[in-house]
Amino acid sequence: MKEVIHACGHENVTAEHASTFEITTDDFLTPAGDCILAIEADRAPADFDPEFVEACRNEDATITMTIEADGREETVTGHGHPDLELDSDRSMVGRTSDYVDERTFVLGCEFAAEGFDRELISALAEGADVTVTVTVDS
């Protein structure tokens, strides 16, 4: 199963956070938002198909996010958890930890914002159009 989100980069994308990354529906980004990869997302976890959400709640599920912008892409993989709510209407956060809140969509990720390819981050900082694809295999 998969969900596709369209968003865009922003001049303040730095992707320097060590434990999270985020895609938000917000239409702005301050320099403090060092985990945010893209803004103005056209969908948030609250919009995801209920079957997709349920699949993400399986601890054995593999959840993969691929972000594409300006001909570059990066994929990060983590896992699901029974406590995932996926009901935020504002943002989706991937975490290297097992911390869960209403914005969390994947846990135990291989890396956080600081681990994303720097050429991709440069494209995001230039405001590139972004496609985020999230898949779940349970």
Read off the pLDDT of each residue in 37-52 and give the average, rounded to a whole number: 97
- pLDDT one-digit tens code per residue, 78-106: 999 999 999 999 999 999 999 999 999 99
Instruction: Tell whether the torsion through CA atoms of 18, 24, 26 and 27 is positive or negative.
Output: positive
Which residue intervals of the chain are DSSP H helices?
Answer: 50-56, 118-125
- pLDDT one-digit tens code per residue, 2-16: 999 999 999 999 999
Confidence band, pLDDT 50/70/90 cuts, at residue 138: confident
Read off the pLDDT of each residue in 15-23 and give the average, rounded to a whole number: 98
Read off the pLDDT of each residue in 47-76 and give the average, rounded to a whole number: 97
Read off the pLDDT of each residue in 42-47 and give the average, rounded to a whole number: 97
Distance CA 111, CA 134 (A): 16
Distance CA 35, CA 24 (A): 10
> Which residues fall within 8 angstroms of residue 78, CB to CB, at 6 or more apart?
62, 63, 94, 95, 106, 107, 108, 109, 110
Q: Give the H/E segment covering residue 28.
A: none
What is the value of pTM for the model shown?
Answer: 0.95
Q: Give the chain's length.
A: 138
Domain ranges, ordered by start, for the chain: 2-137
Q: Which residue has the tokens 């935020």?
A: 88
- pLDDT one-digit tens code per residue, 101-126: 999 999 999 999 999 999 999 999 99
| Six-digit token string for 33 | 């938002």
Q: What fold characterizes domain 2-137? A: Jelly Rolls (2.60.120)
Q: Give the H/E segment covering residue 85.
A: none
Question: Which DSSP category does 114 fall into?
Answer: G
Question: Which DSSP category does 47 fall into?
Answer: G
